[in-house]
Chains A and B, each alone.
Chain A
């Protein structure tokens, strides 16, 4: 492909890559964050694909396919499973929502006014005359109060982007080419990933931050050096996969043991 088309498409892919990192900071619903992360995986996979096509190296195309499968397929799938496991059935959520119990004697005792249909599964029970279970509580599925509020986070992301640009100027000067000129994007995503990791409360958001970090590093590797050797990329990806599996199991265990994965609530040691 011609140089100008290559430059354009590469810029679009890098732009989408950065934009998805920003949207992870912007949105609160965890399911949306996971979906956006999957899109970022697609954008990331496009980079080695384009570089390989431009330079005629087809091993890079294989790497691109591998990245797409891993980061746009397997990892988001694992995270979605962790998400549905942690969004407990609404029945249990209600009792957890408000700590006090109101079982009193007299006309206002709540103990006697339980539902009579008794279904407890998290899916909707659509029996013909049964009651319909509405999504009563979305507490676990949203990042309700990050350490730094959303507006400030977005402004910080702007500053981090500028920082990335300033820091990578001397790097670009070493070998100015369309790929290396897009280097600041990778660095910016690394910094944004760090930021998400440190300022979000939900375990799943922190996992996404860690993965953003790794995505950014991969992007820098491709843009700066036209790809690391395949074996290194495979090794790193395998490590990442293991890390996410462990974190998924940990999240589910935390949820069942403590009732929440809000790490700020888990300050003390429990029995």
Chain B
């Protein structure tokens, strides 16, 4: 049975009605998945305007509602939705930096994407932006909030770190060893991916999507493909959907195994990290046999999937038993367990308010999973979603360990009946007179990925807006660190393991 593609309800909204409509949708239990601004020229149905799209989703059953607002092209302003939804507030700040859309009444109208040496008044996503002007002298130092008090000092860390991790700047305000406040400054790896997508052919957009966040190749590629297939009307055979689900789980497994080892390493128990990395190497070789790339690139293609080989169930089960042993050893070690327990607990209320996704949310009691809420494949049994309620590092460790278990079982079920080789259907690409849009929602290994795509009548990409779950989860990190001591920060950061590149785009 092919699940019906989810229908999206589109509601054209006036800018003045926006807060009321959005509030109603949020109260009904939808979550805001994405906010994207588009610059329409004269040929568009609404004329020259800045069109902002708000995507609200919920499930099961899969419900998607889009609110579209048209703003003045030269002076786009709208009332902020930040008091109703924290995540929307962040999207609005991003839109302001990249598109020039002003959110009126925003409680924290500060730069998000633009670092302090970006020239004022230049918005790179506007169609008339042109090549970047020479970057000027910094307008001033980034105003980090200073914490006053006796004995409070600041520790700046990054963006260049001592280990091989992505760049981000953290400013701690500390008294003794307790963190009073953490401010994270990101967007050091902003590559202008959304702009790079514009004008590419549909096939040329896929490699770019795979590289949005290197370790989430399948997640982002799949979200992109689902969106493009909805927009261009391309069908996907059932076997291909099954193969795509399998690749998604393989990605989940190898990333979680690396995280389990890294968490043990960060408390000084590096022997378990050595074993976890050994298991991961086996998984990466399995990935290479399956798709020809250790990180599963090239597995998901437009209109289908491409498997070189189907993973062997016995091999996966043996690796799973190995992982179980590593996790049991970690949980049985009293010092490791003591370091994990109670460290940096994220309260469920905070996770819900910030809109957290993925294993961060599941460790704090929120079990939202796009495989169940927005399925692209009809699983014979719904995937197991482990949920814990304590929200500390131990809970995030346990959620990952249990997800590995569940994913291995799911892969072995999905592998039955699959054959190797490309399974695509040459897509019937109809001619469209207007710009058509599509949305892809996928449960990547970090959390729910949402991608919205608009295709021009010439079958090129007009606008692509990918949203990585890290964009939602980053604000939760400073909140979880309240009452934590400084030496526990690397452990907490690793337990969140958020993508800098996926966030910065």
Interface residues of A (CB under 8 A from B): 28-29, 94-95, 97-98, 100, 102, 104-110, 112-113, 115-117, 128-132, 134-136, 138
Contact = CB atoms under 8 A, between A and B. Distances in A.
Contact of A129 (B324, B328, B352, B412): B412
A131 B58 contact: no
A44 B406 CA distance: 50
B406 A131 contact: yes
28 contacts: A98-B389, A100-B348, A102-B352, A104-B29, A104-B352, A106-B30, A107-B29, A107-B368, A108-B352, A108-B361, A108-B368, A109-B367, A110-B365, A110-B367, A110-B387, A112-B372, A113-B368, A113-B369, A113-B372, A113-B387, A116-B382, A116-B384, A117-B384, A130-B409, A131-B386, A134-B401, A135-B331, A136-B398
Interface in B336-375: 337, 341, 348, 352, 361, 365-369, 372-373
A105 B60 CA distance: 11
Contacts of A102: 348, 352, 365-366, 389
A152 B357 CA distance: 43
Contacts of B409: 129-131
Contact of B402 (A113, A116, A134): A134
A129 B415 CA distance: 14
Contacts of A108: 31, 352, 361, 366-368
Closest 7 pairs (CB-CB, A-B): A106-B29, A113-B367, A98-B389, A108-B366, A102-B365, A131-B405, A129-B409
Contacts of B389: 94-95, 97-98, 102
B324 A132 contact: yes
Contacts of A134: 327-328, 331, 398, 401-402
Contacts of A100: 348
A229 B30 CA distance: 79
A109 B333 CA distance: 34
Nearest to B324: A132
Contacts of B331: 134-135
A240 to B, nearest CB: 29
Nearest to B404: A132
B30 A29 contact: no
Contact of A106 (B31, B388, B408): B31
B381 interface: yes
Given A113-B368, A136-B388, 8 more contacts: A28-B334, A94-B388, A98-B391, A105-B29, A107-B29, A115-B384, A129-B317, A132-B405
B302 interface: no
Interface of B: 28-31, 57-59, 317, 324, 327-328, 331-332, 334, 337, 341, 348, 352, 361, 365-369, 372-373, 381-382, 384-391, 398, 401-402, 405-406, 408-409, 412-413
A11 B59 CA distance: 72
Nearest to A29: B334
Contacts of B388: 94, 136
B384 A138 contact: no
B390 A107 contact: no
Nearest to B33: A107
A132 B324 CA distance: 8
A106 B57 CA distance: 10
Given A131-B384, A138-B337, A97 B367 contact: no
Given A129-B412, A134-B398, A107 B328 contact: no
B382 to A, nearest CB: 7
Contacts of A131: 384, 386, 402, 405-406, 409
B263 to A, nearest CB: 14
A103 B31 CA distance: 16
Contacts of B352: 102, 104, 108
A83 to B, nearest CB: 15
Nearest to B365: A102
Given A113-B367, A116-B381, A129-B412, A107 B405 contact: no
Contacts of A130: 409
A210 to B, nearest CB: 25
A235 to B, nearest CB: 39
Nearest to B364: A102
B378 to A, nearest CB: 16
A105 B332 CA distance: 37
A138 B408 CA distance: 26
A134 B330 CA distance: 11
A113 B385 CA distance: 6
Contact of A112 (B367, B386, B412): B367
A114 to B, nearest CB: 8
A107 B332 contact: no
A29 B337 CA distance: 11
Contacts of B328: 134-135
A62 B406 CA distance: 57
B182 to A, nearest CB: 24
Contacts of B401: 132, 134
Contacts of A94: 388-389
Nearest to B351: A108
Contacts of A98: 348, 365, 389-391
